Amino acid sequence: MALNDIEQLKKLIEPSKHILLIFSSKDNGDAVAAALALKNLFEKQHRLADIACSEFVAKKQFSFLPEINSIRSSLTNLQKFIIKVDVSKNPIESLSYDIKDSTLNIYLTPKNGLITKNELRTAQSTFKYDLIITLNTPDLESLGNIFFNNTDLFYRTPVVAIDHGASNERYGQVNIIDLSATSTSEIVYKIVKDAGENYFDEKISTAILTGMTIATGSFKQPNLSPTTLQIASSLMARGADREKIIQNLYHTRSIATLKLWGEALTHLQINPRLGFVSTTLTRDNFIRSGGSPDDLHGIIEELISNSPEAKVFALLYEIDNGEKKIGVLVAAEKNFDAMHLARPLQPEGNRHLAKILIRGKTLAEAETLVLKTISDAMPN
């Protein structure tokens, strides 16, 4: 009988001693929480586990999650370079080294005779990670510099992809892709449960519920399944602190964030016939408000969940890095699929929230393109 996805994952985990958990920097928090939950699970199983994400900076609202500061923004010391000396015929009496002019000099003093190059060998150790698990990441390229700077690691080490998005390219040796799940954290719940009920504690339960809360907009998505709600309930019964989660995620808005929301509201455009709402934010809007792109998920989720007339919402913003780059977030209510509507623009995400990056266009040009693309895809 063929093994199911979670059984295949268990087979890979069993011999593993050091696991790398990694996700895309475009993740809005679901993968952060899922990775922290898995790290705690593996450490309970007496395995080492590291979490990495290219250019990761912990957001203030995630500071309540234990070990959030353990997430690395790059990978170092992946392998050891080994110098081997055959001492079977001529033992070493002493060893020393120094560094001069950026050169490492190693001094070996034999007890008798000489050591020649014939006694020397060099080797490279295996990678310190023996399993890689990606979370909420559609393809390896989405991992950014960590992937591009360490491609050998990813091609020589077994990879498991855990995701709930239809855009996932199934690049892993094992792919746990559940399109019926509302979040990657929901899939991680099933993995922990399969490992054993005794593994659930307050830390793991709170991390998983945090990811689910973020991905569902605090369970406001209209397409929530009974399974998702049952899982959330069971996590609270296992010690997940929902009050702490809500307080940190939604009740700690800064003045800068509120100002940025105001800037977005002043630029609203509405197509009442289609139920299509859009807005734009310039670099000046970010400067005046003191807000950042990290605040945008909250804006779009609040607007789509609190505007009954809005079926689809698009938010476009200038990315301030010296290049012509426009970020786009497209949110859709239950009767629409954001990924389908934005398909010509190569989006990432899920049917509720799609993310797009447009290069080489001004904000006005990108707005024209996005509005036409989505309007043409919506039923008249």
pLDDT single digits (tens) 176-230? 999 999 999 999 999 999 999 999 999 999 999 999 999 888 887 766 788 999 9
Q: Where are the alpha helices (DSSP H) in 79-158?
A: 145-148, 151-156
For residue 249 the two structure tokens come to: 């995620």
CB 7 within 8 A of CB 177: no
Class of domain 5-75+128-249: alpha beta
Neighbours of 256 (CB within 10 A): 15
CB 32 within 8 A of CB 68: yes
Check for a shared fold between 5-75+128-249 and 255-377.
no
Summarize the chain as % helix, strand, coil (round to 5): 40, 25, 35
Strand locations in the chain (E): 18-23, 48-52, 81-85, 92-100, 103-110, 120-124, 131-135, 159-163, 174-177, 269-271, 276-281, 312-318, 325-332, 348-349, 353-359
CA pair distance 185, 150, nearest whole angstrom: 26
| Contacting residues for 353 by C-beta, under 8 A, at least 6 apart | 297, 300, 301, 329, 330, 331, 332, 338
CA pair distance 194, 64, nearest whole angstrom: 27
pLDDT of residue 267: 87
pLDDT of residue 1: 31
Q: Which CATH number fits domain 255-377: 3.10.310.30, 3.40.50.1000, 3.30.565.10, 3.30.1330.80?
A: 3.10.310.30
| Residues of the chain with confidence (pLDDT) below 50 | 1-2
CA angle 191, 133, 344 (to 5 degrees): 105
Cα-based distances in Å from 126 to 1, 89, 153, 157: 33, 28, 9, 10
pLDDT of residue 254: 76
Angle, helices 184-195 vs 226-237, to 10°: value is 60
Q: Where are the domains of the chain?
A: 5-75+128-249, 81-124, 255-377
CA pair distance 249, 218, nearest whole angstrom: 9
pTM of the model: 0.74
If residue 346 lies in a helix (H) or strand (E), which one and from where to where?
A: none
pLDDT of residue 328: 93
pLDDT of residue 77: 84
Dihedral angle sign, alpha carbons of residues 337, 342, 344, 346: negative
* Dihedral over alpha carbons 279, 280, 284, 286 (to 10 degrees): 70
Model pLDDT for residues 263-291, shown as the tens digit of each residue = 888 888 888 888 899 999 999 998 888 88
Query: Which string of b and e fits 14-49 if b means at least 16 CB within 10 Å?
Result: eebeebbbbbbbbbbbbbbbbbbbbbbbbebeebeb
CA pair distance 210, 236, nearest whole angstrom: 11
pLDDT of residue 150: 94
pLDDT of residue 266: 87
